[in-house]
Amino acid sequence: MLHIKCPHCGLRSQNEFSYGGDATVKRPELNKEVSDKDWDNFVYLRKSLIGKHLELWQHISGCRQWIKVERDTLTHEIFKTLKANEEV
């Protein structure tokens, strides 16, 4: 079980969090033209990385904040955790 440091609450076990996928994906802006390809990329296409991965987790059984976690997908090493509005 992973040990994730919530930037708001501190070090907690994985079972307090839920996974939210790739944190580098940006939602296209509202009311803007989006090509089929760009939209498909946004909705469906994700890289399956080996190594460092910036991902979203939500501290659902804690502060309910969405946070960013930089994790190695191979070793599970967590390098850094960030608040939603922070950049790596």
Partner 1 sequence: MSEKFRLDKGGLINRNKKISFKFNGKKYFGYEGDTLASALIANGVHLVGRSFKYHRPRGFFGAGVDEPYAIVQMNRNNEVDPNVRATEQELFEGLEAKSVNCWPNVNFDIGAINNFLGKFFPAGFYYKTFMWPKSFWYKVYEPIIRKAAGFGAASIKHDKEKYEHKYEYCDLLITGSGPSGLASAYAAAQNGAKVILAEDKSRFGGSLLTSEVTIGNQSGQEWAEKIISELKSMPNVVVKNRSQVFGYYDHNMLVMSERISDHLPKTEKYIPKQRLWYIRAKEVIISSGSIERPLVFGNNDTPGVMLSSAAKEYLKIYGVLVGKKPLVFTNNDSGYETAIEFKKNGIDPIVLDTRKNPNSEIIKEAEDLNINIKNSYVVVAAKGYKKVKSADIAKISDDKKNINNIENIKCDCICVSGFWTPTIHLASQSGNKTKFNEEIDAFIPSKSKQKETTLGSANGTFTLEETLKTSFKKGNELSKQITNKENKVSIPSVVEKKYSNHDKFWCVPLPEGKNYKRFLDFQNDVAVSDIQLALREGYRSIEHVKRYTTLGMATDQGRTSNLNGLQLVSDIENKVVPQVGHTTFRPPYSPVSIGAIVGREIGKHSKPTRKSPMHYWHEKNNAVFVDAGVWLRPRYYKQGNENLFEASKREARNVRQNVGVCDVTTLGKIDIKGPDAAELLNRVYTNAWLKLPVGKARYGVMLREDGIVMDDGTTTRISENHYHMTTTTAQAANVLSHLEYYLQLVWPELNVNVVSSTEQWAGAAIAGPKSRDVLQKLFPDLDVSNEGLPFMGYMEGNLFGVNAKIFRISFSGELAYEVNVESDNGNFMWEKIMDVGKDFNIQPYGTEALSTLRIEMGHVAGSELDGRTIPYDNSLEGLVSKKKDFIGKRSLSKLAYVAPDRQKIVGVVPLDKKTSIPEGSYIVKDAKAKLPNPKLGHVSASCWSVEYDNPFSLAIIKDGKNMIGQKLFALSPLKNKTIPVEIVSSHYVDPKGERVRS
Residues 50-69 that bind Zn ion (CB under 5 A): 59, 62-63
37 Cα distance to chain centroid: 23
Among 10, 31, 47, 48, binds partner 1 (CB under 8 A): 31
User: What angle is formed at CA 7 by the lines to CA 74 and CA 61, rounded to 5 degrees?
Assistant: 85
Residue 27 in contact with partner 1, rule: CB under 8 A: yes
Cβ 45 vs Cβ 37: under 8 Å: no
Residue 87 in contact with partner 1, rule: CB under 8 A: no
Residue of the chain from 19, 22, 24, 42 that contacts partner 1 (CB under 8 A): 42
